[in-house]
Structure 1
Amino acid sequence: MFKKARITVVIMLFTQLVGCANLGVQSWERDLLAKKEMTLDAEGIDLGLDDHIYFSKEATSGGRAFAGEGCGCN
């Protein structure tokens, strides 16, 4: 009984240690992440929609670039 529990604990610890071995970006993958398509603001239409949403919700005059107040219920 104790032998099975001990083996199970060892296997669980081993899998947890091995599972954390591949965290982060490898050096050969950085060129893919540096492309223009991978940026958060790559699409102009999405930026326009985000600005409209922020303007409607926050009642500001500059979208997400300016701070403002208001409930957006006008």
Structure 2
Amino acid sequence: MKMRHHLPVLLLCISCFGILGCTSVQPWERGNLAKPHMALDASVLHSSLSQHNYNSREGAAGGNSAEGGGCGCY
């Protein structure tokens, strides 16, 4: 029962910390964010080609879930 009383306070604290992490990026700072080592994926072309090959082998189209039916061989 004690946890129910602390839950709203805990959620308020978590949302305050989440809001503090948001900021606007100035135009002169965007160059730093566009550097290659800041990218989520180092090689976008290689990843898209690998994803296309994977989908072709699996007989599925996107999602990486339980769609399609191919043989699954590599």
- Please give the TM-score of this superposition, normalised by the length of structure 1: 0.39
- Please give the TM-score of this superposition, normalised by the length of structure 2: 0.39
Bigger Rg over Cα:
1
